[in-house]
C-alpha cells in the first residue's frame, strides 16, 4: 500500500520553519521549501484527486509543470483559484487547498459510478450518444454536458489579488536555469551584454536541484552567486515564459501577480525535458509516478516511499532514481524493458541492493486507492508488493516555445522524441531541450550557444568567453529502447487528465481519425491544463504503430501559448474596472469639473453629461439646456470628435474615392457633409470635411468612429492606393473644439472676436475660415449638429480652455451658458441627424435616408456591394421619426416596433434607436428603424419593451421634427 515518509535529514527544506496548511478541512504540517505536493506526500495524502471523465482515484504523478492529476482549488471565503498544480505551488503558512471533481471527497466520490459505465464513454462518445434518438436531442443534453465539463470552479467573489504588468528589454534571454541555462547565462554575462535568466521554479538550478552530486550542487551555488553579483544580469524565479512572439517578444508570468512583456535581441532555449510515462494497465493509480519525480521528492524534499519501490523503465536515466531511493533505505526493484543493459548499471545496481529484471515491464498495477503490488510481464511473470511505482518511458525535449514561432519539431531517433527544427534567426537551443541529456555536454552546449548569440549581436569577443565547468563524472550515453508498446489493456492511460486510454487511440484510428489534430479533438487528448506534456508523444507513437507509419510522418499537434495555464487576472493586470481601458479627458475636463459639470462615459471619453446650473438630475437639466440653445445660445465641448488632417496633391482624389459624394470640386474655404462606406457597402461613418487649401483638408468624424476611420484611411492608402500622394495625421488629441449654437450664436462670437467679420456673406453656412487670434490659429466652421445657427471653433488643445473662457465671458451679457452631451444628443434627434445609435455598421445609405447623396459620376469604396440585391430591398428597415401618442406612458430606446395589427412576438418590424423629449413639440419623439420606413408615414404602430412588459402607441412621421426647410441654420 502506498506510503511515504519524511527523512530526518537532507533535502533543501528548512526544518526549522514549520508551516501549517489546510487540506480538505484537515490541518497538516510541512516545512519551508516544500511544495504543496511534497508536503501532502509527507503527510501520506496519497489519494487526492479524481479523474475528469471516469472519476478514477488519482494521486500526484510528477514534481513539475507536467502534473496532470494533482490540481487543487486554492483559497477560501469565496475567493478561490481553481486548477492549481500542487507540484509547483510553494507551501505557505495558512494555505488552504481543496480537491476538485470529487464529491463528497476523493476517498468516497459519488462520481465514481461513472467507472461502471466506462464502456459508454469511449472516444467521441458525446458525438454519438447525445445526437439521438430524436433530431433535437443534443439541445436537451447540452446544458447537462456543459454543467459537467471542467474541473474546479472560481469563487463568486473572484480574487482580491492585484496583478501588475511591466515591460523589459535585454540582449540575451535565457529560458531555463538547468546546467545548460546557467552556463549560457554565465557566458553571455561575461561578454558585457544584458542578460535575463528565467526559471519557472522557485530556485535556480533546474534538474540539478534533484541531484545528490555534491560537486554539481557546488557548481550551481557558485554559478548562481556569480550571476547574482553581475550588474548586467537579471535573475527571475517563479518566472514562466508563457509565449514567444515575433520580434523577440517574450511574455513572462512572474510569481502570482506580475506579467512582463520582454523584448530580447537573442533567445537561448534551455528549457530541459519532461519524462514520459509508460503505458500499462492501471498506470493511473495513486502511487504510480514518474521516476524523476520520485528522485526529486527524495533528494530535494526529503520524502521517500515507506519501504519498497518498483522502477519501470526503457532507458538508463531511471537508474539514477533507483540508486537514490536505495541510498535512503528503500528496497528497489527495476523492471527494464530492454534485453541488453549496460554492465556498469548492473554493477551499480547490485552494489546499491537494487534488483533488476531485464526484458521485463509492468503488465498491471493492483490496488484501487493506492498501489499494492504490480505484475511484471516478460520472462519474469511475478507479482511484486510495493509502495510506489516509478515509470520512465524516456524524455521529451520541451520544444513548445521554439514552436510558438512556427518552427516544426523534427524527430530524433536516438532519443525517440522530437527536438526543435531549424530555429529562427537569433534563437538558439541547448541542453536537454536540444536532445542533449548529459550534464557535462549540456554545460558545454550552453556555453557554445551563448557565444553564438553574442556573435549574432555583433560582438566579436564571443569566442573568448569561457565559464567554469562542474567537476563531475563524464556523461554516459543515453540508451533507450526504440520499441513503442501498443498496449491493449482496457485501462492503460495515455492522457491522465482527460482519461484517454490506449484503447481510445485505437478506436479513433478505426473510425478514421488518423491525423494528429483530428485525433486530439476526437479523443480530447492533450486538451487539459497540462496540454499533453506527458501524453502527446506516447499517443503519436501509438498512432504511428496503428498506421504502420513512421512517427515523424505522423507529426505533432500544434504548440500554442501559453506554455502553462495563466489566470485571466495575470493577462488583465490592473486593466480592470475603470482601468480596463484608458480614460480620455478633453482639454476642458478640469473646467467642467470646477464649474458644475457631471460626467458620463462616452466610449473611452469622459464627457460632460449636464451642468448643475440647469438642474440636479439629467432629466431636469437637459431640458433647460435644450431650451437655452433653441431660444438663445449655448456653448458645448466637442473636443472628442475625430479630427484628421489630410494633405497632398492627391488629397482631393483620395476623398473622392472615400466618400460617396463628391469632394474633388469642393471650393477652398467650404465644408461638406460626407458619408463613407465600408467595402461591404454598409455605412461606416459620417461627418464634415473642410477644404483648407488646394492640397489640405480637415476631416471631422463621429466620436465613436474616430479611431476606426483613421485606421481605415491608412489601410486604403497603404494597401489599395499606395500611388496616391496623400499624408494623414490624427489631430483628435492635438486639437480641441467647441460648438456655439442657437439664434444668438453669431452675436456671441462677434463679442468674443470683435475684429472678425462673421456675417453670412463672409462666413456662410458650411463655410470655414482660419483666423489668427493672439498668435494662435483658430479654425471656425459654420456647421450645425443641432439644427440651429451654429459654429464650431477648433484650435490646439493647450489653448482651448482660454478660448472657452473668453467666449463664455464675452457672451455672458446675452445669457451664454454651457450645455452637455445629453442636450446635444437630444437636439440632434429633434433635427433628425443620425449618430452612433443608427450608424451601427448594419445600415445602408438608403436605410438612413441618405441614398441620394451617392454620386453616379464617380466610383467610391463600397459602391458595388452597396447595390447587392439584399441591400437594395424595399423591405429593409429604414429611418423613421416616431411620435408618442400616449403621453402618460414611457418610450424607451431599444423598444421593438410592431404594426398595429401584429402579434407582439419575436423581433418585430424594427426598433427604437434614439429617444428624447422635444422642448419644441412638448412631447416625446424618437428615431427608429422600421420595415419599409416612410412608406408607412402617419400610420399608428406599437412599441413593445418586453423586459418591463410595456407597450405604447406611436405614429410614424418624418425623422426631421423641426425646421425641415433649414431656415434656422441658414440664418
Please check the confidence at residue 393 and state whether its pLDDT lies above 60. Answer: yes
Angle (nearest 5°) at CA 330 between 327 and 333: 105
Give exposure, 794-818, as e/b (b: 16+ Cβ within 10 Å).
Answer: bbebebbbebbeebbebbeeeebbb
The total of other beta-carbon atoms located within 10 Å of residue 196's CB is 25
Give the residue, 396 or 103, on which the prediction is more confident. 396
| Strand (E) or helix (H) holding 147 | helix 137-148
Over range 514-527, report the average pLDDT: 88
Digit-coded pLDDT (tens) for 357-391:
999 999 999 999 999 999 999 888 899 999 999 99
Over range 333-353, report the average pLDDT: 94
Over range 278-284, report the average pLDDT: 95
| Strand (E) or helix (H) holding 692 | strand 683-693
pLDDT of residue 556: 87
Distance between CA atoms of residues 902 and 953, nearest Å: 13
The total of other beta-carbon atoms located within 10 Å of residue 823's CB is 31
Distance between CA atoms of residues 191 and 474, nearest Å: 28
Distance between CA atoms of residues 943 and 946, nearest Å: 10
Over range 443-450, report the average pLDDT: 96
Please check the confidence at residue 567 and state whether its pLDDT lies above 90. Answer: no
pLDDT of residue 570: 87
pLDDT of residue 482: 79
Report which DSSP code applies to 724: S
pLDDT-based confidence at 610, cuts 50/70/90? very high
pLDDT-based confidence at 312, cuts 50/70/90? very high
Torsion, Cα of 746, 750, 756, 759 (10° steps): 30
Q: Which three cell numbers stand for residue 737?
A: 473644439
pLDDT of residue 613: 97
Where do we find the cell 486507492? 369
pLDDT-based confidence at 700, cuts 50/70/90? very high
Three-state SS string across 882-944, please? EEECCCCCCCCCCCEEEECCCCCCCCCCEEEEEEEEECCCCEEEEEEEEECHHHHCCCEEEEE
Please check the confidence at residue 257 and state whether its pLDDT lies above 90. Answer: no
DSSP-derived 3-state class of residue 290:
strand
Over range 696-717, report the average pLDDT: 96
Please check the confidence at residue 783 and state whether its pLDDT lies above 80. Answer: yes
Please check the confidence at residue 80 and state whether its pLDDT lies above 90. Answer: no
Q: Which of 149-153, 595-599, 757-761 has the lowest mean pLDDT?
A: 149-153
Over range 727-744, report the average pLDDT: 97
Backbone torsions φ then ψ of 90, nearest 5 degrees:
-60, 140
Q: Percent of the chain, pLDDT > 90?
A: 79
pLDDT of residue 487: 63
Q: Which of 512-521, 712-721, 826-835, 929-938 has the lowest mean pLDDT?
A: 512-521
The total of other beta-carbon atoms located within 10 Å of residue 267's CB is 27
pLDDT of residue 442: 96
Give this prediction's pTM.
Answer: 0.77
Digit-coded pLDDT (tens) for 639-669:
999 999 999 999 999 999 999 999 999 999 9
pLDDT-based confidence at 412, cuts 50/70/90? very high
pLDDT of residue 131: 66
Please check the confidence at residue 288 and state whether its pLDDT lies above 70. Answer: yes
Least Cα distance to 372 among 363, 360, 361, 385 occurs for 385
Amino acid at each position: 500500500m502506498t506510503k511515504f515518509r519524511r527523512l530526518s535529514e537532507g533535502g533543501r527544506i528548512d526544518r526549522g520553519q514549520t508551516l501549517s496548511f489546510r487540506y480538505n478541512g484537515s490541518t497538516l504540517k510541512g516545512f519551508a521549501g516544500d511544495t504543496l505536493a511534497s508536503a501532502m506526500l509527507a503527510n501520506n495524502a496519497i489519494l487526492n484527486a479524481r479523474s475528469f471523465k471516469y472519476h478514477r482515484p488519482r494521486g500526484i504523478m510528477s514534481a513539475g509543470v507536467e502534473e496532470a492529476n494533482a490540481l487543487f482549488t486554492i483559497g477560501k471565503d469565496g475567493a478561490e483559484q481553481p486548477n492549481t498544480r500542487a507540484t509547483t505551488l510553494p507551501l505557505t503558512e495558512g494555505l488552504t487547498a481543496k480537491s476538485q471533481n470529487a464529491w463528497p471527497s476523493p476517498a468516497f466520490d459519488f462520481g465514481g459510478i461513472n467507472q461502471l459505465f466506462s464502456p459508454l464513454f469511449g472516444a467521441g462518445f458525446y458525438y454519438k450518444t447525445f445526437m439521438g434518438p430524436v433530431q433535437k436531442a443534443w439541445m436537451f443534453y447540452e446544458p447537462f454536458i456543459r454543467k459537467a465539463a471542467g474541473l474546479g470552479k472560481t469563487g463568486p467573489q473572484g480574487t482580491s489579488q492585484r496583478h501588475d504588468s511591466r515591460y523589459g528589454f535585454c540582449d540575451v534571454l535565457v529560458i531555463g536555469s538547468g546546467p545548460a541555462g546557467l552556463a549560457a547565462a554565465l557566458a553571455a554575462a561575461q561578454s558585457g551584454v544584458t542578460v535575463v535568466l528565467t526559471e519557472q521554479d522557485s530556485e535556480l538550478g533546474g534538474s540539478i536541484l534533484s541531484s545528490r552530486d555534491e560537486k554539481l550542487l557546488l557548481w550551481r551555488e557558485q554559478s548562481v552567486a556569480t550571476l547574482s553579483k553581475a550588474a548586467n544580469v537579471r535573475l527571475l524565479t517563479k518566472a514562466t515564459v508563457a509565449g514567444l512572439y515575433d520580434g523577440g517578444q517574450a511574455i513572462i508570468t512572474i510569481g502570482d501577480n506580475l506579467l512582463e512583456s520582454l523584448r530580447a535581441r537573442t533567445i537561448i532555449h534551455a528549457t530541459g525535458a519532461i519524462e514520459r510515462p509508460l503505458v500499462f494497465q492501471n498506470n493511473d493509480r495513486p502511487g504510480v509516478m514518474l521516476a524523476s519525480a520520485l528522485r526529486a521528492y527524495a533528494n530535494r524534499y526529503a520524502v521517500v516511499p515507506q519501504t519498497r519501490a518498483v522502477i519501470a523503465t526503457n532507458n538508463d536515466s531511471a537508474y539514477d532514481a533507483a540508486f537514490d531511493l536505495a541510498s535512503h533505505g528503500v528496497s528497489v526493484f527495476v523492471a527494464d524493458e530492454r534485453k541488453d543493459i549496460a554492465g556498469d548499471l548492473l554493477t551499480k545496481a547490485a552494489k546499491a541492493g537494487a534488483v533488476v529484471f531485464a526484458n521485463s515491464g509492468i503488465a498491471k498495477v493492483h490496488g484501487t486507492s493506492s498501489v499494492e503490488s504490480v505484475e511484471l510481464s516478460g520472462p519474469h511473470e511475478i507479482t511484486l508488493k510495493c509502495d510506489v511505482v516509478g515509470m520512465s518511458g524516456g524524455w521529451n525535449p520541451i520544444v513548445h516555445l521554439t514552436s510558438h514561432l512556427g518552427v516544426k519539431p523534427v524527430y530524433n531517433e536516438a532519443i525517440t522524441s522530437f527536438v526543435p527544427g531549424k530555429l529562427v534567426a537569433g534563437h538558439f537551443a541547448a541542453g536537454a531541450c536540444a536532445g542533449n541529456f548529459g550534464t557535462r555536454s549540456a554545460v558545454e552546449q550552453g556555453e557554445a550557444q551563448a557565444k553564438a548569440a553574442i556573435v549574432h549581436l555583433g560582438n566579436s569577443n564571443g569566442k573568448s568567453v569561457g565559464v567554469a565547468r562542474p567537476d563531475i563524472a563524464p556523461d554516459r550515453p543515453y540508451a533507450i529502447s526504440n520499441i513503442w508498446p501498443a498496449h491493449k489493456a482496457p485501462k492503460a492511460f495515455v492522457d491522465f487528465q482527460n482519461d484517454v486510454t490506449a484503447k481510445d487511440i485505437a478506436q479513433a484510428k478505426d473510425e478514421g481519425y488518423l491525423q494528429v489534430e483530428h485525433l486530439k479533438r476526437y479523443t480530447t487528448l492533450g486538451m487539459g491544463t497540462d496540454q499533453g506534456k506527458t501524453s502527446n508523444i506516447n499517443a503519436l507513437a501509438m498512432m504511428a504503430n496503428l498506421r504502420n507509419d513512421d512517427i515523424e510522418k505522423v507529426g505533432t499537434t500544434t504548440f500554442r501559448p501559453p506554455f502553462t495555464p495563466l489566470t485571466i487576472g495575470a493577462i488583465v493586470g490592473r486593466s480592470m474596472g475603470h482601468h480596463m481601458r484608458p480614460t480620455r479627458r478633453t482639454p476642458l475636463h478640469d473646467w467642467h469639473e470646477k464649474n458644475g459639470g457631471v460626467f458620463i462615459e462616452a466610449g473611452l471619453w469622459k464627457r460632460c453629461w449636464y451642468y448643475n446650473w440647469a438642474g440636479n438630475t439629467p432629466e431636469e437639466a437637459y431640458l433647460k439646456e435644450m431650451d437655452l440653445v433653441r431660444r438663445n445660445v449655448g456653448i458645448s465641448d466637442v473636443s472628442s470628435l475625430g479630427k484628421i488632417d489630410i494633405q497632398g496633391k492627391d488629397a482631393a482624389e483620395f476623398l473622392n474615392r472615400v466618400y460617396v459624394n463628391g469632394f474633388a470640386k469642393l471650393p477652398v474655404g467650404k465644408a461638406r457633409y460626407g458619408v463613407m462606406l465600408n467595402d461591404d457597402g454598409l455605412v461606416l461613418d459620417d461627418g464634415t470635411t473642410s477644404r483648407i487649401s488646394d492640397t489640405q483638408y480637415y476631416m471631422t468624424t463621429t466620436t465613436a468612429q474616430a479611431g476606426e476611420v483613421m485606421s481605415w484611411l491608412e489601410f486604403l492608402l497603404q494597401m489599395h492606393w499606395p500611388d496616391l500622394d496623400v499624408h494623414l495625421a490624427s489631430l483628435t488629441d492635438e486639437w480641441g473644439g467647441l460648438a456655439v449654437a442657437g439664434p444668438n450664436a453669431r452675436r456671441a462670437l462677434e463679442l468674443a472676436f470683435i475684429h472678425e467679420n462673421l456675417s453670412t456673406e463672409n462666413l456662410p453656412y458650411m463655410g470655414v475660415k482660419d483666423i489668427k487670434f493672439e498668435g494662435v490659429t483658430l479654425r471656425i466652421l459654420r456647421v450645425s449638429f443641432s439644427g440651429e445657427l451654429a459654429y464650431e471653433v477648433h484650435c490646439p488643445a493647450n489653448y482651448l480652455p482660454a478660448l472657452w473662457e473668453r467666449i463664455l465671458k464675452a457672451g455672458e451679457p446675452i445669457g451664454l451658458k454651457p450645455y452637455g452631451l445629453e442636450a446635444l444628443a437630444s437636439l440632434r434627434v429633434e433635427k433628425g441627424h443620425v449618430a452612433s445609435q443608427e450608424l451601427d455598421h448594419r445600415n445602408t445609405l438608403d436605410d438612413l435616408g441618405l441614398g441620394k447623396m451617392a454620386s453616379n459620376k464617380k466610383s467610391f469604396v463600397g459602391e458595388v456591394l452597396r447595390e447587392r440585391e439584399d441591400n437594395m430591398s424595399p423591405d429593409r428597415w429604414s429611418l423613421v421619426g416616431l411620435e408618442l401618442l400616449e403621453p402618460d406612458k414611457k418610450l424607451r430606446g431599444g423598444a421593438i416596433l410592431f404594426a398595429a395589427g401584429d402579434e407582439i412576438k419575436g423581433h418585430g418590424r424594427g426598433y427604437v434607436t434614439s429617444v428624447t423629449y422635444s422642448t419644441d413639440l412638448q412631447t416625446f419623439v424618437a428615431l427608429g428603424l422600421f420595415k419599409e420606413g416612410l412608406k408607412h408615414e402617419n400610420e399608428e404602430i406599437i412599441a413593445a419593451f418586453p423586459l418591463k412588459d410595456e407597450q405604447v402607441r406611436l405614429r410614424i412621421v418624418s425623422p426631421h421634427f423641426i425646421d425641415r426647410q433649414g431656415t434656422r441654420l441658414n440664418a
